[in-house]
Structure 1
Amino acid sequence: MEYLLVVRWLLAFAVLGGIAYPLTARIFRGFPAGGIGFSPVVALAVSTTVALWVGRVAYGDWTAWLGVGALLLVSAAALPVGVDRKALVDRRIDVGDLRGVVDLEWITERTTDPSAATSSAVVFLAAFLFVVAIRAADPAVVPVGGEKFLDYGLLRSILRAETLPPTDVWFAGEPLTYYYGGHLAVALVATLTGTPPAYAYNLGLAGAYACLVAGAFDLARAIAADRGLAERGAARAGALAAVLVGLASNLVPAIGIALRTLPDPAARTLAGLVTTGGPEAAETLLADTARFHYWTASRVIDGTINEFPLFAFLNGDLHAHMLGAPFLLFGTAVAYAYWRTPQSSIARRRGLLVGVVVPFLGTLAVIHTWDLPTLLGVCWLALAFAPASPVTLLPGGDRLRSVLRSRLDSGPLRTEIERTSGALAVTVVLGALGFVLAAPFLLSAGGQQTPALVDPADRSALGALVRVHGVFLAGFLLYLLGRFPSGRLPLVGGVLALAVAGVLVGVPAVALVGPILVLGWVASRTGRDVGFETTLVLAGAGLVGLVEFVHLSELAGPGRLNTVFKIYFNVWVLWGVALGVVLALAYARGFSVPATRSKSVALLGGVRARLPDQRAASRVVVVVLVVSVLPYAAFALGGHFAANDAGTLDATAHLEENRSAEAAGIRWLDAHATREDVLLAAPGATRSPEGLAEHPGEPGPYTWEANPASSFTGIPTVAGWDHQVGYRGTEAYYGRVADVDRAYAGSDAERVAVLREYDVRYVWVGPGERARYGEDVSIGDLRGVEIAFETDGVRIYRVDHDRLAA
């Protein structure tokens, strides 16, 4: 395996993170180790932002180094005034003089636990090597089971680009409309480390996972420390969050294991009740351990995708929702940095929002646009529940606050107007400013997405929701009920009534997240010993409930499939951090706070005396909850390593063994084509608009024959996979499909016209083209078109436009 490349990437993250640390420590002042776990993400965010803006004028390898230079300047500016910045920039630093140059007291003020940096580094390293091991066993970019062809094509197109956005690899001549910022970040690190694209693909996956898990560790540890847990307890919270975000799955495997311990008739009956999906769904659930397949747990709710990070990184797509996750977590951590800033520090609070969140929103839109509403929602809740009043952020905020307090009596109404409405006003301003920065991308992006109501028949079933979110819901419900030690019976009754109402009105999600929303909101408003972890609980619960009522209608996926897919992934990240803190608090103190003595307590006193100690019982519950989400990792990883042993990180190595003819053509094209060239190949479509294709359903997307040359080289093709319908519209995409069909199967005049219209330089004739147009497909009988490369299975024609004629 390519150990040197692994070391290069680790060194790159270490150096970039070290450069970014002054900026990170200023943003995350007071976090253990100054939030050092977020330093690599901060470095990538700054570098990617610079590349996105500069790249609109010109882009090349130098852009990566320009990003590093910008990072140096921004980090130098973040140092305290007492630091000799000029000495740092001029590199006139003696190791012996380092203590005099760097203000160690300033660093200490922002680092409550300097030794915690070691644990953050260990978490990052372990997570990085974990995914390296997974990808080294099976590094292949394949068309089935995901979006690897698309993702590798995006990476290759960026590395070939002269400006940004790059040309769409599956829609030649047009700029990319897909969110590509995460792929750009991977390309920047690949450039800095001199890594070939075939290796950068898998190392980029390892880097994204490590940033995500290290960020979860640092954020949960910081929240737990502020909630009063000692160093060990805070570290336990971080470790639990890292496990829940990086290794945990939903309850599908655990339920399958539990059911299989029962007699067969009982197991089948209970499986039917849990799945509410008929005999086939029950059989699938019961088969999880006997015939385990890693895919099953990601498709639980009908008509949707329910991914979690371990599934995604094991599956191995270098996809935007995965690359965006560590950036979303960084934005969430900034919201927490605001949350913990006192009201008197108004300059810092404004600086975090306007100086960090706003520019970050502009970049996040290009990394993964779906993360924008999630982060804005988190910011709104952070503003609404932070100790500092959000109204004070607005011009004349103190006066407005005084007016509100003079005209409204103290109570819930005034609180919600000042806090909730004030937070919404500030969030709207942040969103508007972020939209201005993101406008160059958002206004050019395709998708034709429109909000739509969810058909009641498409709403999630109760059993499926429990299988997906059960562990989170159980942990949060126990935790929040424990915040109300007195008068709990009426509260439990109200929660149960809300749950029953949700089921009766046909929205099971309300039955599950409604009580959490109510309990979390009331607990946060009434000072019931909760912190930012409950803000994250509310954010996730709101998102889970929201997608039961509205979704984005789009051509890229049927119904609410894509909406649930993207939003649920974000929910998992937010809830993973929150549950890590909740379980650490429960392990240290128990789920319930001490109750004041009441009649109900007296009546139950005899029973309580016979029960285990509350903290001991809570620890058992914590262990059970954590263990219940780990079987997937054991089964999926065991199966993965048993079935795969490639021993390389080369994403294209498998081509030589499995697709040798195409591999030779791809290598030749990669070496000879320039970034200005256009490739003609059969589209990854399922129909032929004018009936010219002999087999209109071939090659279809998600197949080896569909656009391998453009996907593996980054050379744009006239019409790629039918994904383009989601970005360009049906008419635009299938108009091009018709043109490609004419080029291969039309008259000579039509073929020449297409080659000229799209300025085609190379024509690919391989298995996909023969499958679509017949074994005798050829384009070499046109004058100006001649064979440039040939193997047993592939011909590549070169088009000379000066000589081109029918």
Structure 2
Amino acid sequence: MEYGVVLKWWLLYQALLVVGLPFAARLLPDAPDRGASLAVPTAVVLVTVPTLWVGQLAFGLWVVVGVAAAVVAASAWLARGGIDVPRRPLAEVAAVFTAAFLFLIVIRAAADGVHPHGGEKFLDFGLLQSLLRAEQLPPQDFWFAGERVVYYYGGHLMASILALLSGTSGRFAYDPALAGFYAMAVTAVYGLASTITASRFAEADPVEGSTALGVAAVVFVVLLVTLGVPWYYLAVPAAFAAAVFAGSTRVRAGMLAAIVYGFASNLVTPVRLLAGTYDVVREAVVAAGVKSNRAPTITPAEFDMWHASRVVETGINEFPLFAYLNGDLHAHMMSVAVLFLAVGIGLAYARTPESARRRRLALLFGAFPVAAATILTVNTWSFPAVAGVAMLSVALVDADPRTLLPGSLARRFEQSSAAVRELQRVLLGVAVAVAVAVLGLVVAAPFVQSVLLAGASNQHPAAFPVPTKLGAFLLVHGLFLVAFGAYLVSRVARDGSDWAAAALAAVAAVLLAATFDPVIAGVRVGVVGVLLAGPILAGAWLLRRRDAVGFEGVLVVAGAGLVVIIEYVYVADAASYERYNTIFKVYAQVWALWSVPAGVALAALAARKPDVSRLRSVGGTALAVLLVVSASIYGGFAVASHVDSADDATLDAFEHVNDERPDEGAAVEWLNDKSGQPHIVSAPGTTPYTWQNPASSLTGIPTVAGWAHAGNYHSDSAYRTRVSDVGVVYETSEAVSRAIILRKHDVQYVWVGPVERERYDVRVTDEEPGISVAFTNENVTVYEVTHSELVEQ
């Protein structure tokens, strides 16, 4: 285990916390932690955006150091008068970040390095390595030699910046970078939820310790009996729940939000365990429908961490814990920290008085566009979400958006009708969202020009996909739907009859969704999202405008809106079928957006207030504990299985290749020591997610034709031409033909390993002029090409 690497990266993140704090404190000056929970992503964004621009001319260690020095100088200038941050909230932020960082370090140390199976690690690691070799941005596409990468690489740029600042090679930077992104997200969700709760539920008292312990014990026994899982999988989350629910409402909300994002799962695992014991549950799951290749029941012995992320028929319904356990350094995981920064900007706007017009304008048209630009480069799929948060912040918070306009123009919008005023709010919110999007495109102009426009032709909008089945929808979103439904009802319910009416309405909505299956003009039109998420959206919107809920309502609306929208429209792209990729990328955003209000809702349900009966308080606590413990069962199984399968603890990304394919590993290490980005030839990865292109994927050195993904990003016909060229290099018996291809693609090395020998009748030899053996062992030979000595036509 590389403890020195872990310590070095932890210290780097603490330094970023210090650097980012003056900026974050100006964003949320009245938050309990003064914005400290967003300080690290703030610092990372402030270094990344200028680096993106400067990198178009030059990129490398000294560029990154220079930009970082400028950010440090700006931070010092902002902090010249001191920053008043209470010690306890700051200590909470440091503790949460450290716990989350070390948790994922342990997870990654138990993994087996970078490999191509079951994920995008070859893509992600190749991008990181390519950036660390690059002298200019965008870097060369390591799967399409000679061309710049056409992919959102902003998150990998962040990781490479951190690697350069810490002096860490790519093979040891991958895991600490991933752990840092996870810790940034967990810490941000903790801070956002606790900040929202501190201002909304200051009068709420902690649950009595005896009540919290008793409720947790009852939930523990009930689930132990009904699910048949080992007791220790339930004891830990039950004990955690008892401790957290007995704490202050602010800390409780933060901890619950952190658990919902960082450790909880959807309800697939507990429900399928119940279905394995009770026929009535199994029949209900079968009737409601899950993915066709997923059995409705499982036993503890049949647990598979992949099952819970694959229950929607036409998509991947990932949640954070699955994604981080799987270990890809992928866009939808790295962008969450930036998305939470955008949420923090929205929260800052909501907490800014209407009279502070300049600050509100600066947040909307200064801070939001920077967050939008950053997330555009990290994960383009999340770009609309930032604009959406800006739109909803304007439309739903207390400040009248007309006051953003010049006085004479604002007076023209004066209306006496409440309905018209609400419509004006929405329209002005949309206008702000459009402005944020346009300004974000301007801030990210280098990325837009070199990447976004180049790859846009491979995607187009489409409508009316295969609707989500009722069962899959409830299993995937049930944790949030139950928590939000109960929370919203609790804000307006006067007595037990109101709760009964709400319960009947929920049952009616589920029954209608199960029986109503409209077909319009021969097309099935899904109603599950509208019937189940729609009321949550409408309720949160209405109660936010009535000030019955706070900024958490804005985030409930944002997530529900995304869930409903993708039931009807999606982005069709060459990388997936129908809305497969849309569900994958959008559901990840929904989970992130909903994790903050989930913490607030669960904390509020268990809060003791003078006007709430003891029975209702106990009932709310019981529901919250049941949801927390149920959603933690997957984590117990998955983490235990992950750790049990480990052989040795290391953060070395080359572990898999060195353990499973040592000869190829030795050749990879030899090639990895070469500087710059010389071009190589290796067998094209025409069957992705298998062992192909290890040389380019593990070193970042561009190969002529890598995985078939490159055809999606560039041109399928150009990719096929390159595949044909590679075949000529390996199989032709004519030295002239081989030389023509080697010159065409400026090839310096020809990789001949097991994959190449299996696929081709390899005729490359060092007997030809200009070709010599540079490295060889039992299974791999790497030939070096000297262009000046190659045969002429």
The amino acid that maps onto 1:224 is T
| d(CA) in 2 for partners of 1:433, 1:508 | 36
| d(CA) in 2 for partners of 1:544, 1:750 | 54
| d(CA) in 1 for partners of 2:413, 2:50 | 42
Secondary structure of the corresponding residue to residue 229 of structure 1: coil
Pairwise CA distance, 1:495: 6.9
Native 8 Å contact 1:32 1:114 kept in 2 = no
| d(CA) in 2 for partners of 1:492, 1:467 | 18
Pairwise CA distance, 1:37: 1.5
Matched, 1:483 2:491: yes
Q: Deviations over 1:592-626 (max 9, x none)?
A: 987xxxxxxxxxxxxxxxx9711111111111111
The amino acid that maps onto 2:61 is D
Map of 1:704-743 to 2, 5 A cutoff? Answer: 704=691, 706-743=692-729
| Partner of residue 300 from structure 2, selected from 284, 289, 292 | 289
| Partner of residue 251 from structure 1, selected from 267, 278, 299 | 267
Secondary structure of the corresponding residue to residue 764 of structure 1: strand
| d(CA) in 1 for partners of 2:540, 2:202 | 21
The amino acid that maps onto 1:328 is L
Native 8 Å contact 1:500 1:511 kept in 2 = no
Matched, 1:533 2:535: no
Matched, 1:240 2:251: no
Matched, 1:311 2:342: no
Q: Which residue of 2 aligns with 1:39?
A: 39
Pairwise CA distance, 1:789: 1.2
Between stretches 433-442 and 206-215, larger displacement belongs to: 433-442
| d(CA) in 1 for partners of 2:782, 2:408 | 73
Q: Deviations over 1:69-96 (max 9, x none)?
A: 12123323434xxx4xxxxxxxxxxxxx
**TM-score, normalising length from structure 2?**
0.89
Q: Which residue of 1 aligns with 2:417?
A: 410
Matched, 1:583 2:602: yes
Native 8 Å contact 1:220 1:241 kept in 2 = yes
Pairwise CA distance, 1:782: 3.2
Secondary structure of the corresponding residue to residue 461 of structure 2: strand
Native 8 Å contact 1:449 1:552 kept in 2 = no
Q: Deviations over 1:395-416 (max 9, x none)?
A: x2x33333322xx323122222
| d(CA) in 2 for partners of 1:78, 1:276 | 54
Q: Which residue of 2 aligns with 1:118?
A: 91
Q: Which residue of 2 aligns with 1:771?
A: 758
| d(CA) in 2 for partners of 1:586, 1:67 | 46
Pairwise CA distance, 1:181: 1.3
| d(CA) in 2 for partners of 1:425, 1:149 | 41
Matched, 1:573 2:592: yes
The amino acid that maps onto 2:268 is V
Native 8 Å contact 2:196 2:551 kept in 1 = yes
**TM-score, normalising length from structure 1?**
0.87
Q: Which residue of 2 aligns with 1:72?
A: 72
The amino acid that maps onto 1:384 is A
Between stretches 619-628 and 745-754, larger displacement belongs to: 745-754
Native 8 Å contact 2:733 2:763 kept in 1 = no
Pairwise CA distance, 1:67: 2.5
The amino acid that maps onto 1:670 is N
Native 8 Å contact 1:447 1:555 kept in 2 = no
Q: Which residue of 2 aligns with 1:170?
A: 143
Matched, 1:761 2:744: no
Map of 1:507-586 to 2, 5 A cutoff? Answer: 507-527=527-547, 529-586=548-605
Q: Which residue of 2 aligns with 1:96?
A: none
In structure 1, runs of 5+ residues without a counterpart are 84-101, 595-610, 686-699
Structure 1 residues 452 and 426, CA, compared in 2 at 3 Å: closer, same or farther? closer
Native 8 Å contact 1:124 1:210 kept in 2 = yes
Native 8 Å contact 2:185 2:340 kept in 1 = yes
Q: Which residue of 2 aligns with 1:619?
A: 621
| d(CA) in 2 for partners of 1:491, 1:267 | 23
Pairwise CA distance, 1:324: 1.0
Native 8 Å contact 2:372 2:440 kept in 1 = yes
In structure 2, runs of 5+ residues without a counterpart are 204-246, 519-525
Q: Which residue of 2 aligns with 1:217?
A: 190
Q: Deviations over 1:356-390 (max 9, x none)?
A: 22123222211111111011111111111111122
| d(CA) in 2 for partners of 1:355, 1:404 | 25
Native 8 Å contact 2:397 2:545 kept in 1 = no
Q: Which residue of 1 aligns with 2:661?
A: 659
| d(CA) in 2 for partners of 1:494, 1:146 | 41
| Partner of residue 422 from structure 1, selected from 425, 428, 433 | 428
Q: Which residue of 2 aligns with 1:90?
A: none
Q: Deviations over 1:550-579 (max 9, x none)?
A: 111110111111111011001001111110
Structure 1 residues 370 and 77, CA, compared in 2 at 3 Å: closer, same or farther? farther
Pairwise CA distance, 1:276: 4.9
Q: Which residue of 2 aligns with 1:350?
A: 361
Q: Which residue of 2 aligns with 1:474?
A: 482
The amino acid that maps onto 1:619 is T
The amino acid that maps onto 1:438 is A
Q: Which residue of 2 aligns with 1:8?
A: 8
Secondary structure of the corresponding residue to residue 789 of structure 1: strand
Pairwise CA distance, 1:743: 1.9
Native 8 Å contact 1:451 1:550 kept in 2 = no
Q: Deviations over 1:648-689 (max 9, x none)?
A: 111113322211111111122122x3314100111001xxxx
Q: Deviations over 1:160-210 (max 9, x none)?
A: 010111111111111111111111111111112211211100111111111
The amino acid that maps onto 1:452 is P
Q: Deviations over 1:22-50 (max 9, x none)?
A: 11111111111211121111111111112
- Percent identity of paired positions between Structure 1 and Structure 2: 40
Q: Which residue of 1 aligns with 2:220?
A: none
Structure 1 residues 631 and 129, CA, compared in 2 at 3 Å: closer, same or farther? same
Q: How many residues get paired? A: 733
Q: Deviations over 1:203-255 (max 9, x none)?
A: 11111111010001001011111113369211110000000000000111111
Native 8 Å contact 1:547 1:564 kept in 2 = yes
Pairwise CA distance, 1:499: 6.1
Q: Which residue of 2 aligns with 1:681?
A: 682
Q: Deviations over 1:278-309 (max 9, x none)?
A: 6x53x3x4225221111111111012111111
Which structure would you say has the larger RCO, counting Cα contacts within 8 Å and 6 or more residues apart? 2
| Partner of residue 434 from structure 1, selected from 437, 440, 456 | 440
The amino acid that maps onto 2:107 is I
| d(CA) in 1 for partners of 2:396, 2:297 | 43
Q: Which residue of 2 aligns with 1:182?
A: 155
- Aligned-pair RMSD on alpha carbons? 2.2
Q: Which residue of 2 aligns with 1:273?
A: 287
Q: Which residue of 2 aligns with 1:91?
A: none
